[in-house]
Every structure is written in C-alpha cells, then in structure tokens.
Amino acid sequence: MASGKKFRFMASIKRKEDAPEFGFGNNANNAHQRVLNPDGSANIARLGGNKFSLINIYHALVTMSWAKFFLIVSCSYMIVNFLFAILYYIIDPNAISGMIYSSELQKFEEIFFFSAQSLTTVGYGRLNPTGTFNSSLASIESFIGLLGFALATGLLYGKFSRPTAKLLYSKNALIAPYSNPRFVDKASTALMFRITNARSNQLIEVESQILFSYNEEVDGKLIRRFQRLKLEVEKISFLAMSWTIVHPIDDESPLRDLTKDDFESVDAEFLINIKAIDDTYVQQVYARSSYKWQDLIWNAKFVSVITQANDGRTAIDLRKISTYEIMS
Amino acid sequence: MASGKKFRFMASIKRKEDAPEFGFGNNANNAHQRVLNPDGSANIARLGGNKFSLINIYHALVTMSWAKFFLIVSCSYMIVNFLFAILYYIIDPNAISGMIYSSELQKFEEIFFFSAQSLTTVGYGRLNPTGTFNSSLASIESFIGLLGFALATGLLYGKFSRPTAKLLYSKNALIAPYSNPRFVDKASTALMFRITNARSNQLIEVESQILFSYNEEVDGKLIRRFQRLKLEVEKISFLAMSWTIVHPIDDESPLRDLTKDDFESVDAEFLINIKAIDDTYVQQVYARSSYKWQDLIWNAKFVSVITQANDGRTAIDLRKISTYEIMS
Amino acid sequence: MASGKKFRFMASIKRKEDAPEFGFGNNANNAHQRVLNPDGSANIARLGGNKFSLINIYHALVTMSWAKFFLIVSCSYMIVNFLFAILYYIIDPNAISGMIYSSELQKFEEIFFFSAQSLTTVGYGRLNPTGTFNSSLASIESFIGLLGFALATGLLYGKFSRPTAKLLYSKNALIAPYSNPRFVDKASTALMFRITNARSNQLIEVESQILFSYNEEVDGKLIRRFQRLKLEVEKISFLAMSWTIVHPIDDESPLRDLTKDDFESVDAEFLINIKAIDDTYVQQVYARSSYKWQDLIWNAKFVSVITQANDGRTAIDLRKISTYEIMS
Amino acid sequence: MASGKKFRFMASIKRKEDAPEFGFGNNANNAHQRVLNPDGSANIARLGGNKFSLINIYHALVTMSWAKFFLIVSCSYMIVNFLFAILYYIIDPNAISGMIYSSELQKFEEIFFFSAQSLTTVGYGRLNPTGTFNSSLASIESFIGLLGFALATGLLYGKFSRPTAKLLYSKNALIAPYSNPRFVDKASTALMFRITNARSNQLIEVESQILFSYNEEVDGKLIRRFQRLKLEVEKISFLAMSWTIVHPIDDESPLRDLTKDDFESVDAEFLINIKAIDDTYVQQVYARSSYKWQDLIWNAKFVSVITQANDGRTAIDLRKISTYEIMS
C-alpha cells in the first residue's frame, strides 16, 4: 500500500548538518516500542549496572513517590528497632533495668520498646541499660538513630527541593489550518499541542523543542531517525497561562507531504522537551513527553482555557487543557 | 477624544520579529486589571489545580511570610501533641506511669505533657509508657516527632537559602529630557526608573528588561500587546549603588509619539524584569514589578542617592530611592 | 606638574560603546578611597536599610567567620537557657521535681541545668517538670531547642556549601617587557598579575576580567571612569597550576602612554573579577580583588611556582605566588 | 630513530588563535608523568597550602569514599565520648548519680556510658549529673552532640546531593577507518572512544571535548602542548544509550600524519572533558579522564552495546562498553 510512497518520501528528507544529536541511536528493531515513556524517561533497560550502590539507592529514594518513601522509612525504623531488640534479648536480656513483665513475650516487648526509646533518643529512662554489653549496644543504637534521622532530613529536603516541573500536556496534538502573517506564504497547516503549569509555582523562561522521530529504510534495513522541528515561538518569558506550541508545516518542514497513513507507516513519534526555570528556587527544570501518531487529531483547534474567576480576575481552567473542537 | 489618534498610532507599531514572547496571551477583557501584581506575581487565578498536593504545600510554606510560617509550625506541634494525648487518654490512660494528679483534668494534663515529652524526644522519664499499646504509640510519636523536625530543618533551610532579590524600586517612573552623547540625534526624552538592593548581600551581573504592555484595537476587538523596550544599558556588573534604568525615546521607540492622554487610553503598563546573581550563594535571582500609566511623572529627574557616611565613606541612602524633583 | 598631560591623555580615551557597565557610578568625591575593599566587597556604606531583617541576619551568619559564628551560636544557647531558667525560677521554682540543693543559689543552678536538659532534649529525668506552668514551659523550651538546632543544621550546611573561591593573588601587579608571537608588532610591555587556588578543590572554566578605574576631569569636575582591559587569555579550562593574567599594552590599550606618575595622578585602580566553577559542588564562584597604583612594579617578572614534590610529582609552591625578580 | 620526523611534524602544527587554554602550563620536565590521574584529577602536588582549614576538611569529607567517611564519623563520636568521660572521671566522678559498679573500671565504664547518653541526648536518666561542674559539662556535651549531628546531617546531604557523573569509558581509544558522508573527502580514519552512564539517573545535554597533549621541542627544550581536537558531534541531548565520541582525522587534524611510533615519541595523551546535566537535581556535572598513547588500538571497531532485555525492551549492556573487534 502506501509504504512505497513513504520510503520515497523519507529518502528525500535532508538531515540538517547542525542538527543536535538526540542520543537515542538509530536502532529500530522494535519499531512499535515508544522511544520515551509517558513520564518522559527513556524506554531502555540497563544490563550489568549496579542498582544497589549507595548513590543509586539515594536517587531512587529521592525520585520515588511519597507513599513509597514513607513506607520504606517506616519499615526501616521498625526493622532496625527489631534487630537491636533481638540482640539485647539474645545476649543479655536481664541487663535492661526497670522492665515490668509477667511473661517471656512481655519481656521481649519491654526490650523492643527500650530499643525504640534508644533509637529515637527519647530515652524515658524507666527502661535503661546496665552492664557493658547493653550499654555499648544502646549507645551504638542511639548513634545510628541520629545518623538515620540526619539521613531522613536530607532525603526529605532532597525530595522537596528537587527541581521538577509538573506540566499538563494536551492529550492530543492537532494538525490544523494555520495562518500567521509572518509565515503567510509558506504554511497553511501546523502541528500544535498545548501545555500549562500544573503547579502553583511560576515557570519562567520556558523553552520548547519538538523532535520528530520516524523509521527510514536504508539499504533494506529500518533505522530510526530523529529530526528537530522548527517552532513558531521557541521561548516565552513567563508561563502564566497556557502555551500552544506550534510547528508551522511550511515548505521546509519534514511533515510537509505526509498523509495520515504516512504517519502510521513510519511509526511517527513526536518527542517533546520543555526547559524552564522554576521561580521558587530559581532552578532549571526539564520536562519530557511524547505524542505518537495515534495521538494526532486532524482539523481541530483548541478551546480557550481563559475564563473568569469568581472574584472577576482572569483565570485559567486547567481542566480544559486537552479540550479541542473539530473545525467545520 | 484622543482615542482616534491612539489606535492610529498603535496600528503603526511594528512588532519585532525576534521579540521574545512574554506568555501572557493577548486577552484584554478586563483591560484595567494589572498584568503583574505589585509583588511581581502574575495576576491570574487558577481553576481546577490541586492546591493540596504535598509539593504545593511545601512551596507555600517556603514562600510564605515568617510570621505565618512559625504560626503554622507551632500550631502543627500543638495539634499533633494534642491528638496523641487524646489517643493515650481514651484507650489506656493508666498505662502512663508516674502521673501526679488530683483531678481528671490534671490527669489529662499529665498525659498531654507526656505526649509533648515524647514528640520532642526530651523524655524526662518520670512520665513513661507501660503496656503494649501506649509503648507502641509513644514510639510512633517519637518517630513522627523526629520526622517532623527533619522536615522543619529542611523548611527553615529552604526558606533562608531560597534565591530571592529584594529590590527597592522608585515609586514612579519618570519621562524627562535626556541627552546621551551616544544617542544625541535620536532621543530627546527618556523613560526612566531607579532600583537599588534593599538587602546587604551583593547583586552582580544585573540585567534589566522593560516590557511595554498596551491595548490595541484589531478588527474592532481590544487585544493586549507586549513589546520590549530598548534600554540605554541592559546589564551592569555590580549593583553597588543605585541603577537608573533608561529607555531613550528615540525614533524607533513605540513611545515616541505618545501623549500623556495616550498612555491612559491604551491602559499602558510597564512590566519590569530584573535578573541578577546573588553573591552569597551565587544563585540567579529574579525580580519583577510593574508601573502603570498612573505611576508616570513628566519632566522630573531623580535626586542623587549618593551621600557620605559618618565615617567618610561613600554611602547610598536607601530612603531617597523614590525622590525626584520637577525640572523647571 | 604632570597633571596637564594626564588630563589631556584621559580626554583621548575612547570608551568603547559596548563596554559593560560596572555599576559603581562615576562619583569621584573621595578620590583616594578604594573602590573595592581588599576582600572584594564594595567600599560603600548603606544608610536606611534594615540590617535586622531575618534574612539579613541569616546572610550575616552565613558569611561571617567561623569563630564569630560559633561564639554567637554558643551565646544564643546560653542566653535562651538562662532566660527559661529565670522564668521557671520566678514563677514556680518548686514545681521542678528532683532538685538537690542546700542554698538558693544551688536551687537556681538546678533549675538552670533543668533548662539546659530541656533545651537540648537530653532530658535525664531526675529533674523533671510538674504542674501545668512548668510542664508547658518545658514543652515550649524543647520545641524551641529543636527548632534552634534545625536552624543550626541549615546554617552549618549553608556556611560549608556556600560557593566561594579562595584565590591567592600575587601581592603586586607587574608592568614588564612582553612578547607574544600573536601580538608581536603591537605590544612590547604588558600588565600582569598571578593567581592560584588556595584550596584543595578544583577550579574549572576560570574567567578573568580587569577593569581599569581612573579619574578624569570633565568640565572642571573630577569623575571616576571604568574601562575594561583586553586580556591575552580570558578563560582557561582548569586552574591546576597558577595563572598569570596578562593585559598586553598594545596600541589600543588605555595604558599605552601612561607613565609611572600618570598612574598616581589619575589614582589608578585595577579591579579584578574572577569567575570559575568549583568542581566539588559544580557551582559558579566569584572572586574580586583590586590593585592600586601603589601595588605596581615596573620591569619585573614572576618567578616560577612550579617545583617538584618529594614524591617526584610536579608540584606548585603556593608560598611563591607573589615572588618576582627585577629584570636587568 | 623517528624523533627527527616527530619534531619536524610538531613544528608544523599551527595552534589555533582561539584555542581555549587548559591551564596546565607547558612544563614537560617529567614527560612520562600523566597530566590527569585516571579519576580525572590533576596530577599535581600542592606545597604550602593549608590542608587543615575547616573548609578543606569539609571538602575532604564530602568527596571521600563512604567507608572512610563512616569510619571518621564513628571514630569522632567515640573520641568525643571518651574525652568527656575522662573529664568527668578526673574531676568529679562521684557527682554522676545512679552509677552501679563494683570496680574502678566499671565506674569508668558507667561514666563513659553516661557520656554517650549525654552526647546522643538519649539521656535515660538513671545516670544523671549532679553538682555544678558535671551538670555544666553535661549541658556542654549535649550541645556539642547536637551541633555534631547537625554537621553530620549537612555532610550526609552534601555527599549525596553533590553533582557527580559516573561515566563508564571504553578502556581503549580506537583509530580506525571511518567514513561519514559529511566528511567524505577529508577523513578516512578517526580517533574514537565510547562512554555510557554507569548510574541509573539520566544525563542530558552531554558535551564532549578532547584535548591532545604532546611534547614539542622548542629551542632544544621540551615543552608540553595542548590542542583541542574537532569532534564529529560535540553535544547530544540525551545519553540514553552509549555515545561513541569521534574525532575525524581530516586534513586539519593535528593527528593527520602521525604514525604509531610518533604517538609514543611525543608522549601523546588525550584529555577527555565531559559536561552534562544530571536530571535528578538538574545540575551541571563534569567528568574527566584521559587516554595515553599506550591505550590506543589501531584498526578496530566497537561492538554494539545494544541488546534486548528479557522483557523485550531495547537494552544497553554496560559490560560491553570496552569491547571491540579488530577489523580485517
């Protein structure tokens, strides 16, 4: 069917000499596999690396969800607590003075709580260590407790202060009629999608980049190509509202002659890179996402997200970010 | 009245092709609403976002005033303290050993203070938990206390180390006769305002940008335009004194032919972006502000802020930053 | 005497149009006052600012010397300790249970140590609060103690992680014969000084800038001028050894025709800006210094700082950074 | 032997006028000493600096290995603990109330554990200080303990959040036949090596630089030269896979006419600078390494590191990063 046309087209694309490399290689074995995961991470497995180095564990803790993080911290507390309790219990249980118990289980419980009171350094003192071994162990446990909470302090700060942008992307990218006085003779349609800031912080100096990724047949072998698309506006000073990012499909656009079928047959994917400065900590933040050919909508335009708040101020309605209407 | 002239003028403004976008859209429904709030934040409401995500709460705590912050931290301490006290009191009040009381209220008070002593990990020990339930609850409370103070540590550091500039702006912007050898044939007046650093830290590599924002009638509809104004000096290496930021109104300035009435009728606003490096942490800081047409003063010049300190050194008098004198 | 020549010379200096502004104004009232202090801060007093805002106090604590910092932290601990002790003593001294004393002074001492044990949350427990008032006060004191140490944590981290460069500068700047194949026909002498890194961290991407500051008579009034000097090399990738920063005095140099007397009569000062990246935290660091005309040495060259360590490796001897020899 | 040729060649190298300086000087006394250590630090000793300034100690703690760090922290805890114990024991041992002992050694042990309980602020309370001296000392010890753990908090966070890249480099650099349509008439061989990210974080905006370092004879004296090599691609957007960094040996390459023997006789070293952004904290990271002439392999090409994971995803096999095959 259209595949002959497709590869002919592809062969005619001139890769620009100064195009930045994207670093994904040109491997197209699994052509229908996404290049970027929906969360913007690279869809690539790593073999032979050390997942359990201290720094990788720290990175994992900093980037994981809060629920998972608190679960791990709480469990670590319980486990360390328990391990020390076992040590006290096995080696010299009677050197914990002040215990009140009427069964062996209650005795272990008292030792367990003594362990907790040492680890948190609350040290009420009814339960207190006597003898060289237990006293030593208790001083080690308090020391570990303090280091552990020192670590937790860093992790909590690390998680909160990590520069991340949470952007809302329109669910679809649109290909629609387009006219811009500046591009008047060149482009009659454009590829566009829309972003806004999902958080209440301010994003400034926001830059955008679209990479068009597609399969090309070279010497009978499929390879994956990446090409940067020119944007109407590449940078805005302030993401106060929403920003519709537009690639005018002009004479120089690689999308110029592509039909709907072509996008499918070359397994088109649009990789989105957004770069901005988070105003809270004045830190550079990056966000990545991608649209596959299945996410494209023809002949539609976005509905305005601008509305009026109850207090009369201009407002942006985040729930409408993906809303479009088909043009007649 | 002058509105005919205004729109004629506006229509003649050429928007520069390479002008950076400011990201405010061109919505002019509420023409008399400020674009930027006096504190530099965008005057736009957000609907449908999640104000109560953990990260938004953190950002709110980091950016709020110190008074509010300490109030929230103290109240949180009281509330957690109280909630645990209730739990001890309801479930097993007599398992707190060492209480001294002669009434039910005093008993609750003792339990409340036991709770406080656990939460802060001070754990004097006269009051101490016995029994499985209370001991468990107390070890959870100490754990929460430590995490809470770990969080407070991060928040305090976050609030203090957050890169912010506190600039003093002159209350008014002046439009006044101006001569600069470099611009001698081109500009006879200029728009100017003055800034200085309100803090004792050093600001270096200070950059300035003015955006002129005005209404324009296009096809009978009012839209909001933004245009960058060229500055005499865009960057200084060191904000040691004050800096008078000057836009020479030369032949290419969009302000060239505007009268006092015109500024009002197009609802003029001058958006100020200042970018600098804070020398303490060597971090980029941003400050934003705006002048509306009501803030403009004609035919005035700023009075020097340079004076002499008691020790004979050159000094800058921050209290004079807004002082100007009308030129005769 | 030579002042006629000086001003004639000065008048002939063309200020480059694209010269960056330095932000020091052109005030020359106190011509013999340094522009930069030896530590690189601006020699300017500030009147009317709020020295005691929380953020200015924090900045002061972060930038002050370690000795002063520890003194302030220790004193704050003592003072808060003492104030709480006073409150306990005045209002309800007997509600501290467990005190051992035989005089009023010893009683106050016990209360004072109880206060210390609450503030640090060590809470041994022999001394413990009873009664509503003392128990409340003790829970407030522990809370303040924890917040205080949370603050100290941030301050310690802030002080250590603050991006600062400690550079060693040669004590003098030399003006000496110079030949560089690239500048062979243009420059026969050059202004030079030498820097090296005083710390054991690595400085990379080191950039240098010299501003020549001098008095000029304009319409019978002395004003202060700043002009950037062109350097042989403006940036090096790695400050592994020392770096001799050289301004070739070629035909375009403003120093071209200046005699030794001229430097004095125009009150010459050379402002040095160094910008680098500290490899430990990969942070931009800035260092500033200045040479006055009194610091210039004619016809001298720097002695090499390169030597050999005991283990045979190439070594740099920091003690020789200022050493020069007069050329015959 | 070939040395005549070598120096003739060397003399013909034109150093580009805009070449960035590398900051290593041109000292070639110990010609066979590496310029960069394998870990990327400069192979230069420093004499006369103060290794024991607070900031240098902090930097050392932040950059040392985790094992060494924990050893130092633990030992410091033990030593401070012990020193305070000695003070209590010498001056007023009986003022520690609650001790249980039957020998002098046990008495010291009790005092030692009291010291530990004060330092960690666990303060069980069986052991507690009485008397002015011991109470004062104990309040100082708790204060020091808190400051110490405040410091440890900062150090732990500093160690984890420090921006570092861990790159895997191919063990060898290859010189191999090469064809690139863009360079078709100019280069038939190229110098290449390969890098990948050893960690699970993302590296973006990765830039690469090769400096060719060699000996040159000038006026009978050996000096060390540094020259930057042009790369096929200098920057990639995303280091998702591996990156083969290629210097095409074209007509303008300083390596153009060099034989295998020449590389040895000029003691060639290739200094590698990699610059990237770590996506976790969005921080600039730097990595350095070098290849000596002994590490060069002729006529070989790298084996692909791309493979397939068990779940069918594209995968990169880190263990193959150095694998090459000799071309027939």
For D271-306, write each residue's pLDDT tens digit.
898 989 887 777 888 888 889 999 999 999 899 888
Token reading at A232? 């109407």
Report yes or no on A93 lying in a domain.
yes
Separation CA B195–CA B201 (nearest Å): 15
* Residue C113 confidence (pLDDT): 96
Report yes or no on B16 lying in a domain.
no
Report yes or no on C36 lying in a domain.
no
CB of A206 within 8 Å of a chain B CB? The answer is yes
The DSSP secondary-structure symbol of C270 reads: E
**For C12-59, what is each residue's pLDDT tens digit?**
444 444 444 566 665 554 546 666 666 666 677 777 766 667 878 888
Q: Which amino acid is residue A323, in one-letter code?
A: T
* Residue B216 confidence (pLDDT): 81
CB of C94 within 8 Å of a chain B CB? The answer is no
Residue of C nearest to D63 (CA): C280
* Residue B204 confidence (pLDDT): 85
Contact A243 B23 (CB under 8 A): yes
**Interface ipTM above 0.85:** no
Q: Nearest-CA distance from B126 to chain D in Å?
A: 10
CB of D24 within 8 Å of a chain C CB? The answer is yes
Q: Is B244:B302 a contact under the CB 8 Å cutoff?
A: yes
Is residue D48 over pLDDT 80?
no
Contact B124 D124 (CB under 8 A): no
Which is more confidently placed, B35 or A295? A295
CB of B40 within 8 Å of a chain A CB? The answer is no
Tell me what the mean pLDDT of segment D162-171 comes to. 84
Residue of A nearest to B22 (CA): A237
Nearest to A157 by CA among B139, B51, D158: D158
Q: Nearest-CA distance from C298 to chain B in Å?
A: 30
Q: Which of B45-54, C37-46, D189-198 holds the top average pLDDT?
A: D189-198
Which is more confidently placed, C26 or D310? D310
* Number of neighbouring beta carbons within 10 Å of residue B18: 6
Give the range among A199-203, C288-292, D39-43, D142-146 with minimum mean pLDDT: D39-43
* Residue D12 confidence (pLDDT): 41
Nearest to B125 among D121, D125, D153 (CB): D125
Distance from first CA to last CA of chain A, Å, rounded?
29
Number of folded domains that form chain C: 2
Residue of C nearest to D42 (CA): C240
User: What region, left, alpha or beta, does residue B40 occupy, with left being phi > 0 and alpha being psi -120 to 50 degrees?
Assistant: left
Give the range among B24-33, B76-85, D8-17 with minimum mean pLDDT: D8-17
User: Helix A132-161 to helix D66-91 angle, to the nearest 10 degrees?
Assistant: 130
Contact B124 D125 (CB under 8 A): yes
Q: Which of residues 115-154 of A touch C (CB under 8 A)?
A: 121, 123-125, 153
Query: Are residue A179 and residue A255 in the same domain, yes or no?
Result: yes
Angle at B121 between CA B117 and CA B123, to 5 degrees: 55
Is residue B133 over pLDDT 90?
yes
* Residue A133 confidence (pLDDT): 93
Q: Which of residues 54-83 of D touch A (CB under 8 A)?
A: 66, 73-74, 77, 81
Interface test with B, best of D153, D156, D160, D161 (most B CBs within 10 A): D153
CB of B157 within 8 Å of a chain D CB? The answer is no
Separation CA A169–CA A321 (nearest Å): 7
Contact A53 D199 (CB under 8 A): yes
Give the range among C145-159, D146-160, D192-206 with minimum mean pLDDT: D192-206
Query: Are residue B156 and residue B230 in the same domain, yes or no?
Result: no
- CATH code for the domain in which residue D284 is found: 2.60.40.1400
Report yes or no on B5 lying in a domain.
no
Contact residues on chain A for D206, CB-CB shorter than 8 A? 23
> Which of D135, D161, D187 lies at the terminal end of a domain, its last residue?
D161
Nearest to B315 among C47, C142, C283 (CB): C47
Q: Which amino acid is residue A312, in one-letter code?
A: G
- CATH code for the domain in which residue D65 is found: 1.10.287.70
Separation CA A248–CA C276 (nearest Å): 41
Q: Nearest-CA distance from A316 to chain D in Å?
A: 28
Contact C125 A121 (CB under 8 A): no
Which is more confidently placed, D214 or A32? D214
Query: Are residue A122 and residue A171 in the same domain, yes or no?
Result: no
**For B217-235, what is each residue's pLDDT tens digit?**
777 777 778 888 999 888 8
Query: Are residue C105 and residue C241 in the same domain, yes or no?
Result: no
Contact D116 A142 (CB under 8 A): yes
Q: Nearest-CA distance from D250 to chain B in Å?
A: 38
Contact D157 A162 (CB under 8 A): no
Report residue B201's pLDDT band, with 50, 70 and 90 as the boundaries. confident
Which is more confidently placed, D143 or B37? D143
* Residue B112 confidence (pLDDT): 96
pLDDT mean across residues, chain B = 83
Nearest to D224 by CA among D192, D267, D171, D272: D267
B141, B89, B71, B76 alpha-carbon torsion, rounded to 10°: 40
Contact residues on chain C for A124, CB-CB shorter than 8 A? 125
* Residue B164 confidence (pLDDT): 76
Is residue A199 over pLDDT 90?
no
Is residue A24 over pLDDT 70?
no
Separation CA C159–CA C69 (nearest Å): 10
Return the HEC string of chain B: CCHHHHHHHHHCCCCCCCCCECCCCCECCCCCCCCECCCCCECCEEECCCCCCHHHHHHHHHHCCHHHHHHHHHHHHHHHHHHHHHHHHHHCHHHEECCCCCCHHHHHHHHHHHHHHHHCCCCCCCCEECCHHHHHHHHHHHHHHHHHHHHHHHHHHHHHHCCCCCEEECCCEEEEECCCHHHCCCCCEEEEEEEEECCCCCEEEEEEEEEEEEEEEECCEEEEEEEEECCCCCEEEECCCEEEEEEECCCCCCCCCCCHHHHHHCCCEEEEEEEEEECCCCEEEEEEEEEEHHHEEECEEECCCEEECCCCCEEEEHHHCCCEEECC
Interface test with A, best of B16, B17, B21, B228 (most A CBs within 10 A): B21
Contact B121 D121 (CB under 8 A): yes
* Residue C155 confidence (pLDDT): 93
Nearest to B57 by CA among C226, D104, A201: A201
Q: Which residues contact D295 (CB under 8 A, 6 or more apart)?
A: D171, D172, D173
Tell me what the mean pLDDT of segment B15-26 comes to. 52
Report yes or no on A234 lying in a domain.
yes
- What's the domain range around A155? 54-161
Contact residues on chain C for D17, CB-CB shorter than 8 A? 182
Query: Are residue D316 and residue D178 in the same domain, yes or no?
Result: yes
Report yes or no on A38 lying in a domain.
no
Contact A236 B56 (CB under 8 A): no
Contact residues on chain C for D42, CB-CB shorter than 8 A? 202, 238, 240
Residue A321, CA distances (Å) to A287, B29, B55, C19 in order: 17, 20, 21, 46
Is residue B42 over pLDDT 90?
no
Query: Are residue C173 and residue C310 in the same domain, yes or no?
Result: yes
Residue of D nearest to B150 (CA): D153
* Residue D8 confidence (pLDDT): 39
Query: Are residue D171 and residue D290 in the same domain, yes or no?
Result: yes
Positive or negative torsion for Cα C238, C244, C245, C246: negative
> Which of D104, D137, D161 lies at the terminal end of a domain, its last residue?
D161
Q: Nearest-CA distance from A281 to chain C in Å?
A: 15
Which is more confidently placed, A163 or A298? A298
Report yes or no on D45 lying in a domain.
no
Q: Which of residues 243-302 of D touch C (CB under 8 A)?
A: 273, 283-286
Residue of C nearest to A142 (CA): C122
Contact B123 A124 (CB under 8 A): yes
- Whole-structure pTM value: 0.81
**For B151-173, what is each residue's pLDDT tens digit?**
999 999 989 888 777 888 999 99
Nearest to C125 among A121, A125, A153 (CB): A125
Number of inter-chain CB pairs under 8 A, A vs D: 181
Contact residues on chain D for A143, CB-CB shorter than 8 A? 74, 77, 120
* Residue A252 confidence (pLDDT): 82
> Which of B161, B191, B225 lies at the terminal end of a domain, its last residue?
B161
Is residue D9 over pLDDT 50?
no
* Number of neighbouring beta carbons within 10 Å of residue C62: 22
Report yes or no on B12 lying in a domain.
no
* Residue C175 confidence (pLDDT): 93
Contact residues on chain C for B237, CB-CB shorter than 8 A? 20-23, 211, 273
Query: Are residue A215 and residue A238 in the same domain, yes or no?
Result: yes
Contact A124 C125 (CB under 8 A): yes
Query: Are residue C154 and residue C175 in the same domain, yes or no?
Result: no
Query: Are residue B183 and residue B243 in the same domain, yes or no?
Result: yes
Query: Are residue D221 and residue D124 in the same domain, yes or no?
Result: no
Contact D146 C157 (CB under 8 A): no
Percent of chain A whose pLDDT exceeds 70: 83
Q: Which residues of chain C have pLDDT under 50?
A: 1-20, 29, 31
Contact D124 B125 (CB under 8 A): yes
Residue of D nearest to C157 (CA): D154
CB of A304 within 8 Å of a chain C CB? The answer is no
Pairing of strands B221-229, B235-238: unpaired
Residue C220 exposed, middle or buried by CB count within 10 Å (0-12, 13-18, 19+): exposed
Query: Are residue D222 and residue D298 in the same domain, yes or no?
Result: yes
